[in-house]
Chains A and B, each alone.
Chain A
Amino acid sequence: MPPGLRVWWSRVRGLLGRRALERDVADEVRSHLEMLIEDHVAEGMTPAEARTRARREFGNQLATRDRALDSWRFARLESLVRDLRHGLRGIRRAPAFSAVILLTLALGIGATTAIFSVVYTVLLRPLPYPEPDRLVWIGESAGTADGISVTWGNLLAWEAQSGSFEMMAAYARGANRTLTGEGEPRVTSGWVVSHDFFPLTGWRAAAGRLFTEADDRSGAPPTIVLTHSFWQSALGGADAVGRLLTLDGSAYEVIGVLEPGVEFLDPQVDFYLPTGLFFSGAADRTRHGSIRVVARLAEGRSVEEAKADLDGILARLARADPGPEDDHRAYVLPLSTVVRGDLGSTLWLLMGAVGLVLVLACANVASLLLGRSVVRRREMAIRSAIGAGRGRLVGQLLTETLALAGLGGIVGVGLAHLGLAWLVARGPWGVARLADVAMDMPLLLFAAGLTVLVGLISGTAPVLTRRADVVAALKEGSPSAGAGRAGQRLRGTLVVGEVAITVVLVFASTLLVRSLVTARSAGPGFDVGRLLALELRLPAGTYPSADSRRQFYETLVSRLESHTWVESASAVGCPPTWGDCGDWWYSIVGRPPPARSEVPVGLFDVAQPGAFAVLGVPLRAGREFGPRDRAGPPVAIVNETLASRWWPSPADAIGASIKIGGPYQDGSVVEIVGVVADASQTSPDVPARPEYWLPFASDPHGRMTVLVRTQGEPGAAIPAVRRLVSDLDPTLPVWSLRSFDDVVAGTLATRRFSTWLLTLFAVLALILAAVGVYGVLQQWVSARRSEIAIRMALGAGRSSIFGWVGLHACTLVGVGLGLGLALALGASRWLGAVVFGVSPRDPITLALVVLGVILLAAGAAGLPLTRAIGVDAGRELRRT
């Protein structure tokens, strides 16, 4: 151990073994004295003489002992403890003052920590898989479509030829099956994965085994791996390995159960099936299923290098065997990007906003402390005069602030904990990772760091204005007269900054509120009242043929329509606001064929006759599908966005033909018979994409959404709808049955939530800024009472005093307002991503903000102004 460290360590031990040290030194001094006395007696002195002599010779015993022990102490630490005690005493002496500071800090720290927890969990925390930084997600891209499925052929070529990856695994979501034979029939959802999926995610089996390479080969036996939660809910946690489960009428042998608490992209997976069941063995490069690839990059490979490598392999394949997909390329993203989704902009906006609130809180606390430091000038001056060094005083001030900040931090973490529970419960995040957000070590460290930072920042202001003007401070009679000019200036600056920040926050929240209002009044583009959505998935086992599926849905719809409580009914594959259920290429027959990379993409779907009438989506031209479309020439309906891209008016589109799949893919040519208005595909604040529909009868899916417009309250019809379904097929589970009201309300939930939070922050900012403005003006007025009295004595009227103080207030607020508006306009660039329907530099919003801030300032300045004009000149002048 080096001597420096050894000394330090000895002090640590000294702290613990203090008593033993003290005893040793005291004993040593005593024995020293006794030996001295002994020697003196031996020289011939009387014992009394010897003792006196020895004491004199030894010197000050007490000081010797103390100085010997001093070297074992942490001098700094002990003075810190002293400062801390002093600081806590100060907090108790001024309870109201301390409470305001504490509350301000707790709110700032708490809000920041809560939002940061969400940001950290969703955006920053490493993914829970081995080597998360090297995991990538791979799809194919072709022309304008990115992330489409990878073909088996391409995947096999990549696996065999690429050196950029340590491991690659295929997965396909949405292997949904109806489970029978375990109580009520139920809809279950599974994924198909290749065997490397499990080593990639690092998951282990809680029982049995996971897939091996043999399970990837075609002709693999029908096996199944269950998730822990499905094993619990479906099989009651009973011994499962080796059991047979019946899914869609086929038996699968359970070979393993996964460990609990693992998930990948989708929290609601019930089971995993091996790829061998679906992979035919034929490596056709153009046969798209629905597989995507997750892979781990080889050590030191970048995403770009890996993509270039995969693209090279695709290009080689295209040269060796030209085909329709020669322009396909790899689409490679870091897995974290895929997992984190598109919450980024919203979360960073909230983080920025809450950061500004924290800055405001710091500024307010600094300002309050500055105000108080004026009062404490004399105390400090006296301490300085009796020998406390400047460093010592600064240390004491900072310690006091840090003590306050520490308390604020503790309360803040408590607030953050509550706030977080609320955020998780109420937030429409749709992010599974958020469920496991907790105030764990990294977040507590963040809160602690934040607290220290906040304490230092707000504690620095009073220190900065502390000059060595001891004499002046001691000579001054009154603590306020002329004192702390520098402090006043600094507080003025702080208030200007506070107003500016508030303007930015209020501006942003007003923009979001206006966006929300616009999005809401824009509406979803169809009639959501009294409308039910019944989702069904017909199992391939019981409905193997297109005819059986068509017949089922047609019977269901006609039975529904026969009831009096149903106004109308129909079905589509993917109703409005359901999101992106699939897109495909198309091209317009008779137009010059687009280049391979330019083939347009549209959402595509199927619809039964009358579906748009039931939805209340207006027809712009032509007609809906009818019964005759089943047998007649192939037809399509397009939405207004698609029609307006190619034709001047909707009517011009009627009679034109589109080629499904575009010029480079197989697909039929269909005639446009109708153009319907745009309805929200995901949510009212997302612009519509081109979309086209084919008649359900021409391509009867098993997976449809039946639309039911009821006569009365839709909730009351729900049991009747369920009964109808089970009358038709008792083994068919209802996938979902909801009122559109709920669905549509959900589409704006994220926007509503972030708007709400941002508005909350803006209100907090307004309150903090109001307190700041009030505090500074109040101090300004009380420092100028004599000046006001003199002005009054010299004949100034109340209105002129009012004007004088008012001018000061207006200067502070005006400068802050100007600065804030400049900042807000600068920030509007980043707000563009979250604003809908209003310009990010919307003048009405700006006007509203200016008005709001002026009102705030007037409110905050009111009391100080009244105090100023209420000064009793005679009494004030006699007092001085």
Chain B
Amino acid sequence: MSTVDDPPERLEFLQGTLEVLVLRSLAGEPNHAYGISQFLERQSNRAFAVDNGSLYPALQRLLQRGWITAEWGKTPNGRRARYYTLTRAGREQLAEATSRWERFVEAMGLILVPEG
């Protein structure tokens, strides 16, 4: 039970969901904004429709916190695109957020889906 007596933290996590998902999408390799939104839609079986009006500010916030860096590069098709890369701090942040999310889901599950 001790894992769920910290409501403000949980709330913040929920609010920052998109940012965590962006971090996750960059865990494998650097990507550009279009690539990130495609990744998120694909991975969620299109349950998420990513709104660019939220994605772009989220990317800027992550840049400001130093969790990702941005660099102009070339796509496989030779097009100029801005690629985002996860930094070490970003990777740590992702690990922490993931574990928090897992504890959160577990706790929610215990309450919402009673055993038996």
Contact = CB atoms under 8 A, between A and B. Distances in A.
B53 interface: yes
Given A31-B80, A68-B56, 14 more contacts: A6-B65, A7-B64, A10-B63, A27-B82, A28-B32, A35-B75, A59-B52, A59-B53, A65-B56, A67-B53, A68-B60, A71-B57, A71-B64, A72-B64
A28 B51 contact: no
B53 A60 contact: yes
Interface residues of A, number: 29
A190 to B, nearest CB: 67
B82 A24 contact: yes
Chain B's interface size range is: 20 to 34
B87 to A, nearest CB: 12
Contacts of B66: 1, 3, 6
Contact of A67 (B56, B65, B79): B56
Contacts of A71: 57, 60-61, 64
26 contacts: A3-B65, A7-B64, A25-B60, A27-B80, A27-B82, A28-B33, A28-B56, A32-B32, A32-B34, A32-B52, A32-B81, A34-B79, A35-B32, A35-B34, A35-B75, A35-B79, A58-B52, A59-B51, A60-B53, A63-B53, A65-B56, A67-B56, A67-B57, A71-B57, A71-B60, A72-B60
B40 interface: no
A25 B57 contact: no
Contacts of A65: 56
Given A28-B33, A32-B34, A34-B79, A10 B53 contact: no
Contacts of B75: 35
Contacts of A72: 60, 64
A839 interface: no
Interface of B is mostly: helix
A64 interface: yes
B33 A32 contact: yes
B2 interface: no
Nearest to A14: B64
Contact of A36 (B34, B51, B64, B77): B34
Interface of B: 32-34, 51-53, 56-57, 59-61, 63-66, 70, 75, 77, 79-82
Contacts of B80: 27, 31
A31 B65 contact: no
A629 interface: no
Contacts of B79: 31, 34-35, 38
A580 interface: no
A211 B48 CA distance: 87
A70 interface: yes
Given A6-B66, A31-B81, A64 B34 contact: no
Interface in A1-60: 1, 3, 6-7, 10-11, 24-25, 27-29, 31-32, 34-36, 38, 58-60
Contacts of B65: 3, 6-7
Nearest to A13: B64
B57 A70 contact: yes
Interface in A553-595: none
Interface string A652-677: 00000000000000000000000000
A27 B83 CA distance: 12
Contacts of A1: 66
Nearest to A36: B34
A63 B64 CA distance: 20
